[in-house]
Amino acid sequence: MRKASRGALFVATATVSLSLVVAAPTAFAEGSVGTTAAACETGWGSLPKTANNSAPAFLTNIRTGGHDCYDRIVFDIPAGTTSRLGYTVQYVDAFEQEGSGDPIPVSGGAILEVRVQAASYDLDNDEVTYPGKAKQPLPGVDLTGYQTFRDAKFGGSFEGDSKVGLGMRARLPFKVTQLSDKLVVDVAHSW
């Protein structure tokens, strides 16, 4: 009888322990107990992403934000200046100034080049629409504390195109989203 009691006690203890182990991830996943890392999408890839458009557009701001799974850069283009924005987003070995080809140093383990078909000026009104200076950090952008972004330099604007060199911690997957008044580039914190 004593052997059966030990066996029953072992089974009961194992069942309770197993149910606690199985239940714990569900509670954490729902956010009701403790905190865990967010489940991050990983299917973005790191190959170039492009879209073409020849309609003129004007860049008015570039801003960044950090999220649980990715760092984000946003290019603001006023609604109504274009229906679809042309862009090329790709990793490059070296970053160069738009128009002249002069090298621009960008720190980090990889460089993501973002070229948008939107000028930082309006020639019709002889007006600057975005105050970035070629070869300089992006105005108003502070990358302190970002997990992926390390550096951001303005590559200038030439013949309706503007570009930015983003220094990354490493070559990581990214996605591009186009909205009516902005282009959004998200770069994952990991693969």
pLDDT in tens, 52-96: 876 778 899 999 999 999 999 999 998 665 567 889 999 999 999
Q: Are residues 2 and 79 in the same domain?
A: no
Q: Are residues 21 and 97 in the same domain?
A: no
Rg (CA), the chain: 24
| CATH number where 81 lies | 2.60.40.3500
Q: Are residues 97 and 180 in the same domain?
A: yes
What is the predicted pLDDT for the residue at 82? Answer: 53
Give the Cα separation of 74 and 185 in Å (integer): 6
**Residue 150, both tokens:** 């390390």
Q: Are residues 10 and 64 in the same domain?
A: no
Residue 43 within any structural domain of the chain = no
In three-state secondary structure terms, 13 is helix
Residue 44 within any structural domain of the chain = no
Q: Are residues 94 and 180 in the same domain?
A: yes
In three-state secondary structure terms, 4 is helix
Give the Cα separation of 177 and 161 in Å (integer): 18
Q: Which residue shows structure tokens 């975005």? A: 130
Q: Are 117 and 83 in contact (CB under 8 A)?
A: no
What is the predicted pLDDT for the residue at 124? Answer: 83
What is the predicted pLDDT for the residue at 40? Answer: 86
Q: Are residues 123 and 78 in the same domain?
A: yes
Show pLDDT as tens, one digit a residue, over the chain (191 residues).
444 454 444 444 444 333 333 333 333 233 333 344 557 877 899 999 999 876 778 899 999 999 999 999 999 998 665 567 889 999 999 999 988 999 999 999 999 999 999 999 987 888 999 999 999 999 999 999 999 999 999 999 998 899 999 999 999 999 999 988 899 999 999 98
What is the predicted pLDDT for the residue at 9? Answer: 42
Q: Are residues 135 and 97 in the same domain?
A: yes
Residue 41 within any structural domain of the chain = no
Residue 42 within any structural domain of the chain = no
User: Which domain does 7 fall in, by range?
Assistant: 1-36
**Residue 168, both tokens:** 């990354």
**Residue 76, both tokens:** 């603001």
What is the predicted pLDDT for the residue at 139? Answer: 96
Q: How many CB atoms lie within 10 A of CB 171?
A: 15
β-pair type (127-128, 110-116): unpaired
Q: Are residues 59 and 21 in the same domain?
A: no
Give the chain's domain count: 2
